[in-house]
Structure 1
Amino acid sequence: MAKIKGAIVVDTERCKGCNLCVVACPLNIISLSTKEVNRKGYTFAEQLIEDTCNGCASCATVCPDGCITVYKVKQ
């Protein structure tokens, strides 16, 4: 059986830093940025640990602004 690997892409300029995706991620690989803000002054979500996402899309499902896109790749 092929293993599914995922990756998220966050539209940082639209993200308001609501933290819902961070709470929804079962692997705890999403965090709000600590050193950067977007043009509106919000901290934004980012994937902390590369190559760990399983592509479950829980983060994208709970995002109220549709800022997160999840990509899935078979390995």
Structure 2
Amino acid sequence: MSEGQERKGRGTVWVKQEVCKGCSYCIDFCPTHALQFSREFNAKGYHFPVLERPEDCTGCDNCGLYCPDFAIYGARWKDIDAKKAQNA
């Protein structure tokens, strides 16, 4: 998510598309079902996850905890803002 985009939900996720192997653990274990596979393929030929319903994301990082390749992680907006304020 880039600066200036409207925030939805209580958190967001970042995906390292080139690292993802399409195992679906992040999608399977997302408690709010905010993630889906993309229609696109990465360079390895796998569908990677996308935040399909950002309004449902809590930033809990279950996706990151279950990812065997550390290809995704989540964060809560309040934690992101606190970190930015600390670094300012």
RMSD: 1.7
Any gaps of 5 or more consecutive residues in structure 2?
A: 1-8, 79-88
Distance in 2 of aligned mates of 1:54 and 1:69:
12
* Aligned twin of 1:68: 72
| Paired residue total | 71
**TM-score, normalised via structure 1 length:** 0.85
Give the fraction of aligned pairs with identical amino acids, expressed as a percent.
37
Q: Which has the higher contact order (CA 8 A, sep 6+)?
A: 1
Q: Give the SS at the match of 1:21.
A: helix
**TM-score, normalised via structure 2 length:** 0.73
Amino acid at match of 1:63: C
Any gaps of 5 or more consecutive residues in structure 1?
A: none
- From 29, 40, 43, give the equivalent of 1:39: 43
The structure richer in helix per residue is: 2
